[in-house]
Amino acid sequence: MGHPNLAAAVAQIAAVKEYQQAFRAVFGRPVNGPDLLRAIASYERTQLSFDSPFDRFIAGEKNAIDDSAKRGWELFNNQARCNKCHALTDTQRDVTYFTDNDFHNIGVFVVKHNVVALARQAEQLVSSGDKEAVDRAAIQTDMSALGRFLVTKQEKDIASFKTPNIRNVLVTGPYFHDGSQETLWDVIDHYNKGAGLQNPYLDEDIQPLALTVRRWFMNRMGRELSLCVHR
Ligand code: HEC
């Protein structure tokens, strides 16, 4: 939430009448830190989905997903190269969270921003040692486009972002850290084109996919991803 600590978050929540009433109704007490954490944990538990058609398919129920979705799953792990980042390793399929827990520059934002010039500007700020100013810049200015670089100061991390979990992805739009892609179609289009070739820090695993750009491909990918939604 961009707060420096829990007390600041509690103070902001406690100032809102609806939250005061909701905390009273649920916990029978005024807003406080431990209950705020309980509320967030309860919310996050509702986000788990491990009984989707996809999960049943992986567990051995062969007809839990249709043939088109099965072909989509193959694309995900082969030609479309999604597994290069949305899996723990290149060779083992990830059927749980679809992330390598690593950071990559996949070309988001670089079309709109000259990240190299921004990085030079940021270097000065970062070397000033003023952590709060860096945090503010990361959240409130165009420097957010620099991603992990603001933390590590390493050139290779310019415009890198953490690979997100893509479970439930059908209901978590808009997509990418800046919400710049509205639909899954747009996301797949981004990957299929291999965005930002003029971007010197682009991850080597982002390449134009060279798959014939046909709607059937996009539809299958979209469908495959949507199968991880609990229903
Ligand atoms: C080089 C690593 C890499 C490859 C290859 C890759 N991704 Fe990603 N993916 C990422 C990163 C990093 C992000 C987060 C980008 C951001 O937030 O700006 C992301 C974000 C996404 C998102 C948005 C999730 C959200 O909630 O915002 C979707 C959907 C997605 N990827 C699907 C795919 C699919 C499908 C493929 C294959 C066609 C693929 N990815 C290939 C690294 C990769």
Q: Does the pLDDT value for residue 88 go beyond 70?
A: yes
Q: What is the pLDDT of residue 129?
A: 79
- CB 187 less than 6 A from any atom of ligand 1: yes
Report the separation in Å between the CA atom of 224 and the middle of ligand 1, taken as the mean of its atom positions: 14
| Whole-number Å distance between alpha carbons of 206 and 93 | 19
Q: Does the pLDDT value for residue 222 go beyond 70?
A: no
Which of 166, 167, 203 to mutate to test ligand 1, by most ligand atoms within 8 A of the CB atom?
Answer: 166
Which of 171, 187, 213 to mutate to test ligand 1, by most ligand atoms within 8 A of the CB atom?
Answer: 187
Task: Classify the phi-psi angles of 60: left when phi > 0, otherwise alpha if psi is within -120 to 50, otherwise beta.
Answer: left
Residue 214 pLDDT grade (very low, low, confident, very high; cuts 50, 70, 90): low
Residue 147 CA, closest ligand 1 atom number: 18
- CB 164 less than 6 A from any atom of ligand 1: yes
Report the separation in Å between the CA atom of 164 and the middle of ligand 1, taken as the mean of its atom positions: 7
Residues in the chain: 231
Q: What is the mean pLDDT of the chain?
A: 82
Q: Does the pLDDT value for residue 111 go beyond 90?
A: no
Q: Does the pLDDT value for residue 102 go beyond 70?
A: yes
CB half-sphere exposure, 189, CA atoms < 13 A: 9
Residue 25 pLDDT grade (very low, low, confident, very high; cuts 50, 70, 90): very high
- CB 81 less than 6 A from any atom of ligand 1: yes
Q: Residue 169 is encoded by which pair of tokens? A: 């992805």
Quick check: 145 and 118 in contact, CB under 8 A? yes
Q: Which of 14, 199, 230 is nearest to 110 (CA)?
A: 199
Quick check: 112 and 105 in contact, CB under 8 A? no
pLDDT per residue as tens digits for the range 41-56:
998 887 777 788 999 9
pLDDT more than 90, % of the chain: 30
- Residue with the smallest CA separation from ligand 1 atom 13 is 163
- CB 217 less than 6 A from any atom of ligand 1: no
Alpha-carbon distances of 80 from 114, 126, 217, 218, 221, rounded to whole Å: 28, 37, 10, 11, 9
Report the separation in Å between the CA atom of 41 and the middle of ligand 1, taken as the mean of its atom positions: 25
Residue 21 pLDDT grade (very low, low, confident, very high; cuts 50, 70, 90): very high
- CB 190 less than 6 A from any atom of ligand 1: no
Q: Residue 160 is encoded by which pair of tokens? A: 């890198």
- CB 84 less than 6 A from any atom of ligand 1: yes
Report the separation in Å between the CA atom of 106 and the middle of ligand 1, taken as the mean of its atom positions: 7
Which of 71, 104, 186 to mutate to test ligand 1, by most ligand atoms within 8 A of the CB atom?
Answer: 104
Residue 158 pLDDT grade (very low, low, confident, very high; cuts 50, 70, 90): confident
Q: Which of 35, 2, 31, 34 is nearest to 14 (CA)?
A: 31
